[in-house]
Amino acid sequence: MERPDWVPSDVDVRRPSVARVYDYYLGGSHNFEADRQMARKIIEMAPPTVMVARANRAFLRRAVRFCVDAGIRQFLDLGSGIPTVGNVHDIAQQFDPGARVVYVDIDPVAVAHSRAILDGNDNAAVIQADLRDPHSVLDHPDSKRLLDLTEPVAVLLVSVMHFVPDEDDPAGIVAQFAAAAAAGSYLVFSQAGFAGISKDKLESAKELYARTATQLTLRSRADIEAMLDGWQLVEPGLTYLSMWRPESPDDIAEDAERSVFLAGVGRKA
């Protein structure tokens, strides 16, 4: 394949990337053949995958609008992937062009794409960092330039924590970001669970994601609730993606539980 000139020289485009596979689910163009092959295999194994990805994106849009309505003007999107149309800066800056957004991702290709997308936007930036090291995120010059942590901020962990294994203490990671955030801040969160997934399909999914640099860890409702300790969930609490504050009855999927994702927004008192 012809190598795009924006791809960093040390990136193997023959190895699938979680961010680019997700972009494919969303109908984006920021992906390579290796990503598309992996995505097709996952979709064949789990046909609701595309629906789930798009439900996650719709949840993100509704949650960001909720935060904007609550007065939030700064956003920290952890594990952001590729911020194509309809992502955080698009939504927040439609309401207030001065809204500030910091995207964070560990994938160098996702970061390269993001920088191209955000070129010329002085109120949005992307940094390459590992969300498992909150200090590296919060101490980054772009975070310090755009975020004032003495004021409320929205911290987004949307469709990412299932890529953080238990041995990395996901609850502790969330707690560190909570500790850094001012009172009145919000957490926007979604995580894949394992309700309704057969053991065979779960193992197959783990094997596919093992081809990337990322593990897959699905969690129970109780495990997810433990990660959100310290955040006061707003109504309707922790629920399936399409059931979190739908904007119309048509937004609620008839089989919402098939998404296997639980989502919620919490406020720091």
CATH code, domain with 98: 3.40.50.150
Total domains in the chain come to 1
Chain segment 1-37, per-residue pLDDT in tens: 567 776 667 677 888 888 888 889 988 888 889 999 9
Q: Is residue 208 part of a domain?
A: yes
Chain segment 212-237, per-residue pLDDT in tens: 556 778 888 899 999 999 899 999 99
Q: Pick the residue with more confidence: 124 or 240?
A: 124
Q: Is residue 27 part of a domain?
A: no
Lowest mean pLDDT among 6-20, 71-85, 167-181: 6-20
pLDDT at 147 exceeding the cut of 70: yes
Sign of torsion over alpha carbons 193, 184, 134, 126: positive
Domain range holding 205?
51-267
Model pTM score = 0.87
Q: Is residue 82 part of a domain?
A: yes
Predicted confidence at residue 103, as pLDDT, reads 98
Predicted confidence at residue 217, as pLDDT, reads 86
Q: Is residue 109 part of a domain?
A: yes
Q: Is residue 148 part of a domain?
A: yes
Predicted confidence at residue 264, as pLDDT, reads 97
Q: Is residue 36 part of a domain?
A: no
Q: Is residue 19 part of a domain?
A: no
Number of residues that make up the chain: 269
Predicted confidence at residue 213, as pLDDT, reads 53
